[in-house]
Chains A and B, each alone.
Chain A
Amino acid sequence: MASRRRKLLKIIILGDSGFVNKKFSNQYKATIGADFLTKELQFEDRLFTLQIWDTAGQERFQSLGVAFYRGADCCVLTYDVNVMKSFENLNRWRDEFLLQASPSDPDNFPFILLGNKVDVDNGSSRVVSEKKAKAWCMSKGNIPYFETSAKDGTNVEEAFMCIAKNAIKNEPEEEMYVPDTIDMTNRAHSQTSSGCEC
């Protein structure tokens, strides 16, 4: 019934290299908590609102944990093609996501991989080849792979389109929560808060 309407997609970005903040800068600015942004996107005749949680690039400022992973529609993994360690960490990020978000079908959960900063030094400092990255994607159930440039955001749009396309393909039969027969009014009254009525 709502399928023709605007579709909301929740996307989590994880990895050692952030990409939403794509402005070229050699200045380091830490992110606190997850950066939350929305983005509107038209794909075919459908309008999408993307709800993007970008945590990429830091772990230190996550004092409340990662409860926001839950309910994600897609997880975007990022690494820096110039830093081997960031590629090696991909497995850890993927496992961490599956563990914390606990999606209902972890084997088929949609991931996307972004190889970032391909433009740095015209690619001369690159250490992870496209072939290697694609091989990794293949081994994880054929994850779509995009290479992006930190400077101008090449392919970022394509990556989002891909997410939208995936979302349509995997559209479930509007899975809905069927309520138990609990008397809501009673419970609402028993709810006590510590002397404050706010």
Chain B
Amino acid sequence: MDVIIDEEKWLAEGIASVQQNAFYMLRAVDSDNLREALKYSAQMLSELRTSKLSPHKYFELYMRAFDELRKLELFFKDESRHGVHVSDLYELVQHAGNVLPRLYLLCTVGSVYMKSKEVSCKDILKDLVEMCRAVQHPIRGLFLRSYLCQVTRDKLPDIGSEYKGVGDSVLDAVDFVLQNFMEMNKLWVRLQHQGPAQVAEKREKERNELRDLVGKNLHILSQIEGVDLEMYRDTVLPKILEQVVNSKDELAQHYLMDCIIQVFPDEYHLQTLDILLAACPQLQPTVDIKTVLSQLMERLSNYAASSTEVSDHSLALLVSSFDTICLLTMSILQVLPEFLQVEAFAKLNNAIGKVIEAQIDMPIVGAITLYTSLLMFTLRVHPDRLDYVDLVLGACVRKLSGKPKLEDSRATKQIIALLSAPLDKYNDAVTALTLSNYPCIMDYLDNDTNKVMAMVIIQNILKNYTCISTADQVEALFELIKGLIRDIDESPGDELDEEDFKEEQNSVARLIHMLYNDDPDEMLKIICTVQRHIMTGGQRRLPFTVPPLVFSALKVNSLVRRLQGQDGEADGEEAPASPKQIFRLMNQTIEALSSVPSPDLALRLYLQCAEAASDCDLEPIAYEFFTQAFILYEEDIADSKAQFTAIHLIIGTLQRMAVFGVENRDTLTHKATGYSAKLLKKADQCRAVYACSHLFWVDEQDGIKDGERVLLCLKRSLRIANAAQQMANVTRGSSGPVTLFVEILNKYLYFFEKGNPKVTSSAIQGLVELIRTEMQSETSTPDQGTTAFFNSTLRYIQFQKQKGGLMGEKYDPVKL
């Protein structure tokens, strides 16, 4: 804290002194007094000799002096005012007492001198850059040279520059900046060895603040137009890299590599990849080379991407302006071949390999980051080269091999980025399936990350509606997502949140629907593959995965049938994808589910299959499925509510089955009515029994219409309703609601209208009266719902009576 306060004080004092001397200096300037102006400017510049300020504060002070020197520079320029020729002035300022002020003044005059064009810029530049060697104090030296850099910036001999005198060449400018750069780099690197070791950390921080002074030189080099590719490749880059490598300093190396990549243009990098990359393994082992290389690759891939964008765009322009397009396409179309020509990918791949090899201590996350960058580069620059993608993944696998599964969360995150990149690029998981090294990398992930990645893959497929259409692809896919399909390493997923688990499995279920092929044979293979995989899923997963598989399989049947219809073949018995085959497979699959146990679900699926088999005209198979359903009902469905639901499902399905001959149908309906009558609650019994009446009356052409047995069912249900009423009387002293009677009445009406001769108007009349009596009896508890139900039923009868016509006549005998 004290240091900061002191520093503020010193800075304030320094600024005050600069201002005071500047005041006298300007007063001397205004009165054209050169001697006094020089004296006060030297005093002002002496303030920069301080060693007490950190780089930040020193920069503030420097800027004050810098601004004042601009005014002095104007004065120097005006020989008419001070009467001294600039060449003499150049000598004169060298009489200043201290080195630092003297050199600042010399640089200032030097700039004027060059501007006068009376001298070869080359000589002045050479002189100045040499003279500045006199200051070896790192901070002061760095700022002095940065001043030199700034005042000479717009006077460097360059192509098209007015300062390019006879005998001066671009090379002189380059030599000057390079030399200044080398000197500054040395000062900068040396700074770390100054002062006691205790303040090393602070010193590194200060050094870091000073970095842009050094980097500025590289920026100036990049702005010199005369630095063409050839000069860059043969002179500039090798010299810079030599400095970088020889500095043997982590901070300098990392920063300067970054600078090189950022300040010079992309096409230069592309054409000098060898040189730049060859420097990488020579850097200190602690240098964060992965960030440097990643940035390089990012730049290059942006370059490739932007130029393709422009070329797309230029095609659009073609319509409007032919001339522009010619120019644009010519420049653009060169870019991509350029990447190929210089073999950018091979070089980068090679360099990365070497860096990883050289930096033994690089954490695994570093290597993976590098590979991820290279992969991004490949995907953007060579989207058609899947072999490159696989190559990168393969290199990654080699790096990972022989190591235990990754536990470092940053590394696993990187791997997810690595594996997601091809998916995002191609928006087609099928492409990823062709990469042989893809699954190998997944194997190095811990179980949780593996699942995350599997989910990424599934989401990608679902999002893009990717159709996975061959059994081989399905096999590869399920191998990739096996973390979701079964427990790996026999570690039960107990710790997994129930909701997460459901989400995962629902995704798998949705995925199964995306597997499709129009060809029944291939589709059957797909089904078999999926079946094989999901059967290993264990009891928690099967309820999620079996249903979509069953429905997928049933789709095959309709496919087969459609094809058969086309070909006119009667039976696909011999084809591999025969319905029989599929049903056999389904039988096994659902059986697994019933042992899970999920009997309710299994029962529904059996019934679904039975109906499908009926559609395929396969009576024995349909019968078998029903048998299975009935066995399940008898053995595994114990809950009365579940039984009631199951009965209705059975009745509903059975009613629609057209395939059964009389005998089979009798057996099954007999069973179903039997179950109905044995339900525990009377009300349930009653409802199930009247529902059974539909089994004997199928309202279709050729449908069974057995009026007698319909009536039997209805009568039986009435008896049960009566019994229920009596039981209610006995146990509660009041009769139960008459809802059941009203419901039965509605069934009577249904069959009456359907023309069942056994259901008569008098029976209806009797039932209406019965209900009225029941409702008026003192023991009955009034129930609003039932009353309303009954009343609307009566209104319906009234309506039918009044309608006239056939229906009106039919209802006529019913008296309300």
Contacts and interface: CB of A to CB of B under 8 A. Distances in A.
Contact of A64 (B55, B78, B259): B55
B779 interface: no
Contacts of B30: 1-2
B135 A198 contact: yes
A179 to B, nearest CB: 5
B212 A64 contact: yes
B594 interface: no
Given A27-B267, A191-B46, A67 B219 contact: no
A32 B49 contact: no
A63 B265 contact: no
Contacts of B47: 191
A37 B150 CA distance: 8
B425 interface: no
A97 to B, nearest CB: 15
Interface residues of B, number: 63
Nearest to A2: B30
B49 A37 contact: no
B50 A30 contact: no
Interface stretch (A78-86, A139-147, A160-168, A180-188): A180-188
B213 A33 contact: yes
Interface in B192-222: 208-213, 215-216, 218-219, 222
A196 B23 contact: no
A36 B63 CA distance: 13
A36 B67 CA distance: 12
Given A71-B67, A193-B51, A32 B210 contact: no
B59 interface: yes
Contacts of B16: 180, 182
A29 B264 contact: yes
Given A177-B20, A198-B137, A31 B219 contact: yes
Contact of B263 (A6, A30, A63, A197): A30
Interface residues of A, number: 46
B461 to A, nearest CB: 34
B252 to A, nearest CB: 13
A33 to B, nearest CB: 5
A52 to B, nearest CB: 10
A30 B209 CA distance: 18
Contacts of B67: 10, 70-71
Contact of A198 (B59, B98, B222): B98
Contacts of A33: 212-213, 215-216, 219
A182 B20 contact: yes
Contacts of B264: 29
B99 A197 contact: yes
B622 interface: no
Interface string B153-197: 110000000000000000000000000000000000000000000
A142 B631 CA distance: 89
Contacts of B774: none
A172 interface: no
A191 B50 contact: yes
Contacts of A26: 306, 310
A82 B66 CA distance: 36
A37 B99 contact: no
B43 interface: yes
Interface string A30-53: 111101111000000000010100
B798 interface: no
B385 interface: no
A37 B74 contact: no
A129 interface: no
A68 B216 CA distance: 15
Contact of B71 (A8, A29, A30, A61): A8
A7 to B, nearest CB: 9
Contact of B70 (A28, A51, A193): A51
Contacts of A30: 219, 259, 262-263
Contacts of B310: 26
B263 A8 contact: no
A62 interface: yes
A161 to B, nearest CB: 20
Interface string B525-545: 000000000000000000000
A5 B77 CA distance: 12
B19 interface: yes
A147 to B, nearest CB: 21
A194 interface: yes
B754 interface: no
A64 B262 contact: no
Given A26-B306, A31-B219, A32-B216, A177 B19 contact: yes
A27 B99 CA distance: 42
Given A33-B213, A188-B43, A49 B74 contact: yes
Given A28-B265, A32-B219, A198-B134, A179 B23 contact: yes
19 contacts: A2-B30, A5-B74, A28-B266, A28-B299, A30-B259, A30-B262, A32-B212, A33-B219, A61-B215, A62-B212, A64-B56, A64-B210, A65-B59, A68-B63, A176-B26, A177-B23, A187-B13, A191-B47, A198-B49
Interface of A: 1-2, 5-6, 8, 10, 21, 26-33, 35-38, 49, 51, 60-65, 67-68, 70-71, 176-180, 182, 184, 187-188, 191, 193-194, 196-198
Given A28-B299, A65-B56, A70-B67, 5 more contacts: A30-B259, A30-B262, A33-B212, A63-B211, A182-B20
